[in-house]
A and B are shown apart, each in its own frame.
Chain A
């Protein structure tokens, strides 16, 4: 498939950013009433809401850029699995609190660097969403950092489980920093941020926290996820969409 150009290229690039936020917002929302303490219910729901806000800021703009005029609901509720451009990290099912903190630590650090770099984007909406989000993401990052420290440098049990969590998220990290054709072209066009350019800063920040938490970054995993930015997803994605989209698809145009 030929690469889109102009506004359509910007739309294709921004869709990946928006979908990461939307899908992770949905996953984090699942923690409500399931977190280990009520403060965590609140924290994860708050973070989810911030991410939802990022997606909502981008979707209508993408709908204008790609010429379809789609609304935020069209993007969130009426697209099938192969049309989603999020990395597979964010679609993975809940797998315990340690896993969530490991995922949030990597993802929030990635977003912090991405949104800081987006201040140089030629796309005004992307710059605006990023300038807003970068301050919120600093809170997300600090939340994950504190839990990584507390669990890593906690009891023998919490240390072991946090270490296992770092290993469990590892196969999904490469996708965050992969220079897919759309991101490369969007970077050349002045809109995007080259994913690989974020790698060193993100790894350095996470490594510092992991070491302070008396944990160790695991060695490279034997396999890695691929294809999220091209619409190829893992098994949990279908279930996530089914739950998220069920109402909107069963009752078209429902409002409340």
Chain B
């Protein structure tokens, strides 16, 4: 039986365009969790390597299922593997992704120094309110509605907002 499938570039782009189930304005390519997508025309197999944002991220299963679905819809056989190393960092999030987050009302992660220690001092970082742009914001809860978010309040406009934690 011969398979009919779409062009490799098509399926590779389609995989990257899968939305994050928790933050649907972001694609998994924006998040930087797609490490590689390789479509092999001779076998009709797409090898997708993803890395989780957090060890226990419950969205991984939904992402894997969605990626497989997208590949099959495009006529390809998916092979999705999870790779832990090197560990994901918010530095891998695209600038476009950070803009999308801001427009969605989530403060994007701040830059981390490569290989530096993770800064975890409470309330010392300047985090901009995604609504009014004020940096006069305070942390309400380090652990927010998902593993990757913290909850903050803007002292200028008094709105609460999510912050994508720097990791």
Residues of A within 8 A of B (CB): 25, 39, 42-43, 45-47, 49-54, 56-57, 124-125, 127-129, 131-133, 135-136, 138-139, 141-143, 146
Contacts and interface: CB of A to CB of B under 8 A. Distances in A.
A131 B55 CA distance: 10
Contact of A135 (B58, B87, B122): B87
B71 interface: no
Given A142-B142, A143-B143, A146-B122, A131 B56 contact: no
15 contacts: A25-B56, A39-B140, A42-B145, A43-B142, A49-B54, A50-B54, A51-B56, A124-B85, A128-B83, A129-B55, A131-B86, A132-B52, A132-B87, A139-B118, A146-B122
B57 interface: yes
Contact of A53 (B55, B121, B141, B151): B55
Contacts of A52: 55-56
Given A39-B141, A43-B142, A128 B87 contact: yes
B122 A136 contact: no
Given A39-B140, A42-B141, A132-B52, 4 more contacts: A39-B143, A42-B143, A139-B120, A139-B143
B153 to A, nearest CB: 12
Nearest to A41: B143
A42 B142 CA distance: 9
Given A128-B85, A131-B87, A136 B141 contact: no
Contacts of A143: 142-143
Contacts, number: 84
Nearest to A44: B143
B147 interface: yes
B132 to A, nearest CB: 23
Interface string B22-38: 00000000000000000
A136 B90 CA distance: 13
Given A53-B56, A53-B57, A131 B85 contact: yes
Interface string B61-75: 000000000000000
Given A49-B58, A50-B56, A52-B56, A43 B141 contact: yes
Contacts of A56: 55-56
B150 to A, nearest CB: 9
Which of A42, A45, A54, A133 has the largest number of chain B CB atoms within 10 A?
Answer: A42
Contact of A46 (B85, B118, B147): B147
A133 B55 contact: yes
Contacts of B87: 128, 131-132, 135
Contact of A42 (B54, B84, B144): B144
A25 to B, nearest CB: 8
Which of A43, A50, A132, A136 has the largest number of chain B CB atoms within 10 A?
Answer: A132
Interface string B126-167: 000000000000001111110100010000000000000101
B88 interface: yes
Nearest to B151: A39
Which of B54, B89, B117 has the largest number of chain A CB atoms within 10 A?
Answer: B54
Contacts of B142: 43, 139, 142-143
Given A50-B54, A50-B55, A54-B55, A131 B141 contact: no
A26 to B, nearest CB: 13
Which of B56, B120, B145, B167 has the largest number of chain A CB atoms within 10 A?
Answer: B56
